[in-house]
Structure 1
Amino acid sequence: MPTDPSEGWDALAERFMQMRSGVGASLVRDWAIAQLPAGSAIVDVGCGSGVPIAETLIEAGFAVSGIDASPRLVAAFHARFPEAPVACEAAQLSAFFGRTFDAAVCVGLIFLLSKVDQAALIGRVAQALKPGGRFLFTAPLQACEWPDTLTGRLSRSLGQTAYAALLDAHGLSLVASHSDEGGNHYYEAIRPRDPEPHTRQSTSHG
């Protein structure tokens, strides 16, 4: 039986776009401005139509690319931001444009996925981040499950301990947590910079 890579969201794209509020946009913008150099390349994972997250980052001068599994939401993103690269594909399977980014944001997506796909997504993000790159994503602090209000599908947060372990397994470090005006919890991780190579000293034997 065929599966829906968008986890039910493509069929509800119009309704989702009508309902999506601006909650979280100011937090993501302020975080990006504080943590990243001006004009940094950011990939919006689960970008939807681009409103409000990609929109506020583009307005702040960042170079944003988007990934989403819903054809309808990707079409809306492209119509709104024709200069921004966008790919219609499942994030946990994406090659992330075959490039690396200074940061990745993932708002409202990871907890829609199975535990296996959440781990795969974190792995894909880790591969797509430059050394020193940052990853900001939303999921509840505690481990829990609940039915999504729009799709009716099961959502699941793995909780802080599990997310920290998954991040560590893929070479990322959980460094901070944040909360937006709607009470949504954000995890912030970083890919440590590569250590400076040690200078190899030659030795002579007499």
Structure 2
Amino acid sequence: MNVGGTDRTDRSGQAAAFDAIGGRYDEAFPHKEGQLAAVQRLLSQLRPGARVLDVGCGTGVPTARQLVDAGHQVVGVDLSAGMLELARKQVPEAEFHQADLTTLSAQGPDGLGQFDAVTCFFTLLMLGRAEIPDALRLLRSLLRPDGLLALSMVEADLDDAEIPFLGHTIRVSGFLRDELRQVVRDAGFEITGEETYAYAPASTHAPPEHQLFLNCRRTGQ
């Protein structure tokens, strides 16, 4: 996950939380059926050897691993150095960078180029609501025309709310599903598929959450 903090431009506090959480993240969230299925839908539409950006790649499992195993070129980005250390060990075939989602670009000295697809699973949760439309437009700019986006969010009417998470405190935002759909469309995407999953994390006392998975396509030039 990409992470945020009280000052939305300074995300170092939550990056530190995910550094500390490390491998316990995958232990607490062992079942990722929605995420796996969303990537399978994406894979069915990708050309062989496609270039895919995994935004908020976390430990690299399952998404980067799934994409690499299907023969695609994967670039992963995350703000947490601890998560990236695990990702490099678990998916050595991929390329990983430590970066804040909001600083990514296709051009320039640190530019990543353009991609056939972007995966962004639960990463936008860590931004303030006001940042999310711009973040989606940024992801669109990283896609080639007709490029694909696999996106997930937790359905919640929240903006920069503090929640306990695996012994740490993080701040999250969310939308109800109709509003999320509109935000995604306004950012220049067509929604081509949607699935909802009820999910209860293992080894935590958090109540079940409703996870929304959207498969999208970039529209326009």
Q: Same fold (TM over 0.5)?
A: yes
Corresponding residue for residue 149 of structure 1: 165
Distance 1:108 1:3 in 2: 16
What pairs up with 1:4-153 in 2 under 5 angstroms? Answer: 4=12, 6=15, 8-24=17-33, 25-95=35-105, 97-141=111-155, 143-144=157-158, 147-150=163-166, 151-153=168-170
Higher gyration radius (CA)? 1
Match of 1:168 among 154, 167, 185: 185
Cα RMSD, aligned residues only = 2.6
SS in 1 for 2:151: strand
TM-score normalised by L of structure 2? 0.75
Flag structure 1 segments of 5+ consecutive residues without an equivalent.
195-206
Work out the CA distance in 2 between the residues paired with 1:139 and 1:7.
22
Inter-partner Cα distance in structure 2 for 1:172 and 1:7: 33
- 2-structure distance, mates of 1:32, 1:127: 19
The structure with the largest strand share of the pair is 2
Aligned to 1:204: none
Report if the CA contact (8 A) 1:143-1:159 is conserved.
yes
1:23 deviation in Å? Answer: 1.0
Q: Distance in 2 between matches of 1:86 and 1:120?
A: 23
Q: Which residue identity lines up with residue 30 of structure 2 in the other structure?
A: S
The answer (yes or no) to whether the contact 2:61–2:90 under 8 Å persists in 1 is no
Secondary structure at 1:6's aligned position in 2? helix
- Distance in 2 of aligned mates of 1:116 and 1:95: 19
Q: Quick one: which amino acid aligns to residue 218 of structure 2?
A: R
Q: Distance in 2 between matches of 1:3 and 1:192?
A: 31
Q: Secondary structure at the match of 2:61?
A: coil
Aligned-partner SS, 1:8: helix
Q: 1:148–1:155: 8 Å Cα contact kept in structure 2?
A: no
Structure 2: distance between partners of 1:111 and 1:3: 13
Distance 1:20 1:141, change over 3 A: closer
Q: Deviations over 1:110-154 (max 9, x none)?
A: 112211332232122111011111111111345346725323323
Sort the Cα spacing of 1:91 and 1:7 in 2 relative to 1 into closer, same or farther, 3 A. farther
What are structure 2's unaligned runs of at least 5 residues? Answer: 1-6, 200-209
Distance 1:44 1:22, change over 3 A: farther
Moved more, 35-44 or 13-22: 13-22
Q: Tell me which residue corresponds to 2:206.
A: none
| Offset at residue 193 of structure 1 (A) | 5.3
Q: Deviations over 1:94-118 (max 9, x none)?
A: 2264311111111122112211332
Please give the alpha-carbon distance, in whole angstroms, between the structure 1 residues aligned to 2:46 and 2:66: 15
Question: Whole-Å Cα distance in 2 between the matches of residues 74 and 15 of structure 1?
Answer: 14
Q: TM-score, normalised by structure 1?
A: 0.80
